[in-house]
Structure 1
Amino acid sequence: MYERVRPSWIVRVVLWQGWGTTLRVGLLLWATAVLQGILAPAMAIRGAMPDLFLLMLGCLALRLNPSAAAATGFFAGLLHASMLDQTVGSLIVSRMLAAFIVAWLPTLLDRQRWLSACLACALLVLLANGLLYLVAPSITGWGWWSMTLGIMVYHTLLAVPAYGLVRRVVPPYQEAIE
């Protein structure tokens, strides 16, 4: 008489490991938003200011499956775009696609190694900023790319402590979305 109600695919993606993991990832993104607004301008070196959203997204992409990483990229892009005066759609799309691609890295790398986080964060910055440049080109040209390289170096240095935090907060990876 009563059929079991099956949640939609978006609910299954967001709650891929249950409410606990979803809330933990949400709290990490919220804390990243606060730190991006407070600490990032003070940490700028030679014009290269760390993009803490990309740093956290790179570390989370190693711990999440690709669908959940894309959903996390969407929310990270939405939060980051709300803090900036940039085009919201292009920032969201670049973060989503970059997180989805980086989430496939564990097929080539070991997600337990700390140096994998350095590579994932550097690659995520390159992909996200490259996609953003393709979708919403910047007038500055080379200055923008040199700033991107500076951010890549910055994130390579910050990736190990950030990945250590993510490994403590987010539970181990599960293969399938049920």
Structure 2
Amino acid sequence: MARDILATLKNEHDALRGLFADLKATTDRGVKTRTDLLERIEAALIPHAKWEEQVFYPAFKERADRDGLQTHAEALAEHHAVEQTIIPEVHAADPGTPEFAGRTKVFGELIDHHAKEEEKTMFKMARQLFTAEERAQLDEEYEAWKQSDTAATLVAAEKAKAGIKGVVKAVRH
């Protein structure tokens, strides 16, 4: 099968949905499992989201019509909400508590909503805006980027930022 960035991003969405389902199935006693699953979720989500924000979304925006621009704005707003609010709130909760379970449930629901919107709306538009060759090229660039030092540094910085914001939120509450 030919490479296609839209298929790759959809597969990553599906993997995240699976990780969130596993997380939802844990109990308050499963602290290590919850911590490990959150780590895996962030390791999958952060490079995905950052690459979309830095490469895919700007390329989409350049070609989009008014409806596409609205879709672009929605996607960025959802990314911002998860990064600035949801992830820090998850980090502010002890993994052995119902608060953690509730916050990660909301986190998973927001990711699922965002992924469905992207798949149904943005990806449908992108199939019209980008040729198969362009989508294949984007897929190759994404794979190379994920292996780069730039991506590793960005992921580490985002995780540190989320952890710090989580500590601040925990201290305030």
Instruction: With the length of structure 2 as denominator, give the TM-score of the two structures.
Output: 0.36
Larger RCO, structure (CA 8 Å, separation 6 or more): 2
Higher helix share: 2
Instruction: With the length of structure 1 as denominator, give the TM-score of the two structures.
Output: 0.35
